Structure 1
Amino acid sequence: GYTEAGYRAMGLTGWGAVWPVFLSLFTEALALLTIGLVRPWGTVPPRWVPFFGGRPVRPRAVVLAASLGAVGLALLWTPFVGWWALPGTGMTPLGHTLVGFLYLPTVAWAPLLAAVTVSYHRRHRAPSAATTLPRTA
C-alpha cells in the first residue's frame, strides 16, 4: 500500500522493500502452524513435509515451541493495546485510528495460542496412574 516515495521515507529501498513482504509471509506461515495443534497432522505430519513427514512428533517439543511462541507474541503485541495513546507517526488521525483497529486482533494471538497449547498438552500427555488403575470387581 506504500508508494516508492513512502518506502524511501521509511528507508526501505531496494531489497529493504522486500522485508515487509517476507515478514508478512513468515508470520502467516507461523499462524498456520497453530492449526497443527488442533488437527491430526500436529501428531503425525503428512509424508510430504520435509524432515518430519510420516513420523510422530514429540508432544513435549511441540508444547515447548508453542509455549515459547505464545510468550514471544505476548511480548511483541501486548504493548499494541495502547496504540491510541501513542503519538501519530506521520499518519493522519484517521490513518492512525484505522491502523489501530486493523492490528488490534493480533493482541489476541498470544492468549489464543496459549489456550490451544494447553489443550494440545492435555490431549497428548501420558495418562496418569489414577486413570490407568485396573478395576476390581
Structure 2
Amino acid sequence: MPRWARLAAVGAALTNVPSAIWRVAIALGVPVGLAQSEYEQMGAPGLGSLALVALSLISEVFAFLALGLVQSWGETWPRWIPWLGGREVPVMVGTTLAGVGALATTVFGALFVYTSFHSDMEATTWGIWLLNIVYAPLLLWGPLLGAVTVHYYRRRTEASQEPVLTSV
C-alpha cells in the first residue's frame, strides 16, 4: 500500500473532526461566536443538541469508512456483519459507494463555501472566522476520498487479474 494512499485515507477520515467538535460545542452551549438567535434556531442547548451530536457522529462514521479503502476490512467484510462476514467485498460495491461519497462530499464542500459567503447568519467576526476554519477541511474530504477510491479500484482490479503466460 503506497504511503500517499494511507495518508490520503487518514486525511479524509480526519476532515470531519473540526466541524464535529464545533457542532458538539454548540450542542453543549459553548459560545462559538454565534448570536443567541442562532442557538435558539438550532434548539441548542436542548432537543436540537441531539441532532447536532447525531450529525457529528454520522459524519465521523462515514469519514472513518475511507480507511476501509486502504485496510483489509475494505476487501473482506468484517466477521461481525451478518450474512456477509468473511466474504470478499465486491470491487464495484466498494468503488461505487466510495465514489458516490466522494462526489457528494465534494459538492457539499463547494456548496458550504458558497453559502458561507452568502449567509445572513448572525455571528461575531471571530465566530464567522471560526466557522470557516472548522469547516474548511471539508473541502478536502471529497478530493482525498476520490483519490483513494481510484487507487482502491486500480489495486483491487489489478490484483484480481492473473498474469497471462505466453510461450516463446
TM-score normalised by L of structure 2: 0.69
Instruction: Return structure 1 stretches of 4+ with deviation > 2 angstroms.
Output: 1-8, 11-17, 49-52, 79-88
The superposition leaves residues 1-26 of structure 1 with CA deviations (integer Å, 9 ceiling, x where unpaired) of: 33396676215276433111111000
1:69-88 → structure 2 map (5 Å cutoff) = 69-82=101-114, 85-87=117-119
Cα-Cα RMSD = 2.5
For residue 61 of structure 2, what is the amino acid of its counterpart?
A
**Conserved in 2, the CA contact under 8 Å of 1:83 and 1:100?**
no
For residue 9 of structure 1, what is the amino acid of its counterpart?
E
Moved more, 42-51 or 108-117: 42-51
User: Who is 2:148 aligned against?
Assistant: 116
Shift of 1:40: 0.8
Structure 2 unaligned blocks of 5 or more: 1-24, 31-35
Provide the rounded CA distance (Å) in 1 between the counterparts of 2:116 and 2:101: 26
For residue 144 of structure 2, what is the amino acid of its counterpart?
L
% same residue: 32
Shift of 1:38: 0.3
* Aligned CA distance change for structure 1 residues 97 and 88 (closer, same or farther; 3 Å): farther
Provide the rounded CA distance (Å) in 2 between the counterparts of 1:112 and 1:78: 14
The superposition leaves residues 43-93 of structure 1 with CA deviations (integer Å, 9 ceiling, x where unpaired) of: 112212344321111111110111111111111111334566335611100
* Aligned CA distance change for structure 1 residues 26 and 46 (closer, same or farther; 3 Å): same
User: Who is 1:107 aligned against?
Assistant: 139
**Conserved in 1, the CA contact under 8 Å of 2:38 and 2:121?**
no
For residue 136 of structure 1, what is the amino acid of its counterpart?
S
1:29-44 → structure 2 map (5 Å cutoff) = 29-44=61-76
**Conserved in 2, the CA contact under 8 Å of 1:84 and 1:97?**
no
Moved more, 21-30 or 83-92: 83-92
Which residue, 94, 97, 111 being the options, matches 1:62?
94
Shift of 1:113: 0.3
Aligned residues: 134
**Conserved in 2, the CA contact under 8 Å of 1:36 and 1:42?**
yes
Point out which structure has higher relative CO (alpha carbons under 8 A, 6+ apart). Answer: 2
Shift of 1:133: 2.6
* Aligned CA distance change for structure 1 residues 8 and 81 (closer, same or farther; 3 Å): closer
